[in-house]
Amino acid sequence: MNTMEWKPDKQSDIPIYKQIADYIQKRIAYGEYPPGSSLPSERSLAKSFDVNRGTIIAAYDELYSNGMVERIKGSGTKVSTDVWGLTRTRIPNWDLYVERGSFLPNLPIYQHIHEEIHERNLINFASGELAHDLMPYENFREILREHEFRQSLGYEHPQGNLDLRHTIAKHLKQHKNIECTSQSILVTSGAQQALHLLIQCLLNPGDAVAYEDPSYAHSLPTFRSAGLKTYKLPVSEHGINPEEIVHLHKRHKIKMVFLNPIFQNPTGTVLSVERRKRVLEITAELGIPVIEDDPYSLISFSEQTTPATLKSMDKNGTVLYISSLSKLAASGLRIGWIVGPHNVIHRLADAKQQIDFGHSILPQWLANEFLRSESFETHLQHVKHRLLEKRNVLISALQEELSDHLTFQIPDGGIHLWCRLASKINEYRLLEESLKNGVIFVPGSLLGSQTGHIRLTYGRAETESIPEGIARLKQALLKL
């Protein structure tokens, strides 16, 4: 095989192993390597192409999965004797199937963060969930001990258990002043499934949508998988500027706006009442739905009234409201909900039934008993108290250790602290160095267009480990 005239293009978006596999396949097709002939050894080919041996192994794996080559122990890799025939069994090209699916994977850096969290004992400022000591284990045990389970174990109603939907409606009225009925509620597997259903059922490829920058929505591959055109609404210390919605709509005909207006992820900002009113005015005038993601509004550290959700202020029916128990009780319970017009809820419920035949009854039953119990209010106050304590410990540690290296705005609720690095430090290099020290966070550019930021989530970290985590972060930062 004459490799002198060809080298893989290391600047190409096509993986090098695929380029090599394609090159070898063409040489076989041109008859340069007839059926049964031996291919070069992995080491010699790696040297010729100036790549590592693993790349050649991957290329040969690709050819083997396509039925082009055979592997004979002790004899190396040979061109299949039936390379163009159908007499041999062939392994599916799983890499090709994995890459061709329309539902896109998480970004590699997010996959890396999730793997590190689950495989190592880290001080965790990355996970957007509550620490174990904030989850209502004893409340759940009490429910299981004292309440007899009498629900049917068959398929549930497509919209979710009726008792739970009644309870959610009462909960929303009592805690958030949102008027709705059980018919306008769909129970989902957390807010994530709610967003997925809305995107898949109400939008088409090529539609333009707007979301906050930075925001959790920026990291979701769901938008790209659906083929949507996404446009950003910059977030300042007061939230988005509603007039930006008008500007984007004039230029791009926005079909939907995604907002997290109260204790926003990751900035912790609260959209002012005036701006919330203006958002509702603009979207009503333009006929654009607003998707309000509200995981944090009940986690307010102020003694004053909880900030009003867009849905509670909505007089025109433009807001589709999403919330869950993930940030209030337990992320693993997987109980979320969408509130919207009956025809929208019916459409989404039909899609959810096609996906999973409705939500599991056991977590719905447990969530229903917990939400309507007296212990829910006690638990909520406990969560708010402990999260405030965690936030204050984190702020104190940052002021003591890193006041010269980063700045931040103190949030009045929620679980996230958005930090701006004082010097031009690559946040991904900082993450890798921090991982060596046993601490993890989310780089800011994963959540939007702004570089030089990091998100520190204090909901998941154990209170007593927070100062040590910041000391380790400082050590990592000083090495860069």
Looking at residue 441, its pLDDT comes to 96
Closest residue by Cα to residue 292 from 198, 166, 171:
198
Range of weakest confidence among 92-106, 160-174, 322-336, 390-404: 92-106
Q: pLDDT digit string (tens) for 101-144?
A: 777 777 778 788 888 888 888 999 999 999 999 999 999 999 99
Task: Report the Cα 332 to chain-centroid distance in Å.
Answer: 15
Q: pLDDT digit string (tens) for 363-372?
A: 999 999 999 9
In angstroms, the CA 212 to CA 62 distance is 41
Average confidence (pLDDT) over 421-428: 89
Query: Which 3 state secondary structure label does DSSP give 67?
Result: coil
Backbone phi, psi, residue 197, to 5°: -65, -45
Task: For domain 16-100, give the CATH number.
Answer: 1.10.10.10
Query: Would you say residue 478 has pLDDT above 60?
Result: yes
Task: For domain 150-373, give the CATH number.
Answer: 3.40.640.10
442-to-360, 427, 433, 454, 457 alpha-carbon distances in Å: 32, 9, 13, 6, 9
- Name the residue ranges covered by the structural domains of the chain: 16-100, 108-128+378-478, 150-373
Query: Would you say residue 2 has pLDDT above 70?
Result: no
Query: Would you say residue 83 has pLDDT above 80?
Result: no
Query: Would you say residue 31 has pLDDT above 90?
Result: no
Find where tokens 């009503």 sit: 284
For residue 13, count CB atoms less than 10 angstroms from its CB and return exposed for 0-12, middle for 13-18, buried for 19 or more: exposed
Looking at residue 107, its pLDDT comes to 74
Looking at residue 399, its pLDDT comes to 97
Query: Which 3 state secondary structure label does DSSP give 214?
Result: coil
Sheet with 254-259, strands from edge to edge, namely 185-188, 336-339, 319-324, 290-293, 254-259, 208-213, 229-236, 239-240
Rg (CA), the chain: 27
> How confident is residue 95, by pLDDT bands cut at 50, 70 and 90?
low
In angstroms, the CA 68 to CA 84 distance is 8
Please give the CATH topology (third level) of the domain spanning 108-128+378-478: Aspartate Aminotransferase, domain 1 (3.90.1150)
Query: Would you say residue 303 has pLDDT above 80?
Result: no
Looking at residue 7, its pLDDT comes to 87
- Tokens standing for residue 255: 């079909």
Most confident among 96-100, 143-147, 305-309, 465-469 (mean pLDDT): 465-469
292-to-159, 253, 340, 417 alpha-carbon distances in Å: 19, 20, 11, 21
Note the pTM of the prediction, 2 decimals. 0.82
Looking at residue 64, its pLDDT comes to 86
Looking at residue 360, its pLDDT comes to 92
Q: Across all residues in the chain, what is the average pLDDT? A: 91
CB–CB of 49/7 below 8 Å?
Answer: yes
In angstroms, the CA 353 to CA 366 distance is 21
For residue 234, count CB atoms less than 10 angstroms from its CB and return exposed for 0-12, middle for 13-18, buried for 19 or more: middle
Average confidence (pLDDT) over 450-473: 95
Q: pLDDT digit string (tens) for 391-418?
A: 999 999 999 999 999 999 999 999 999 9
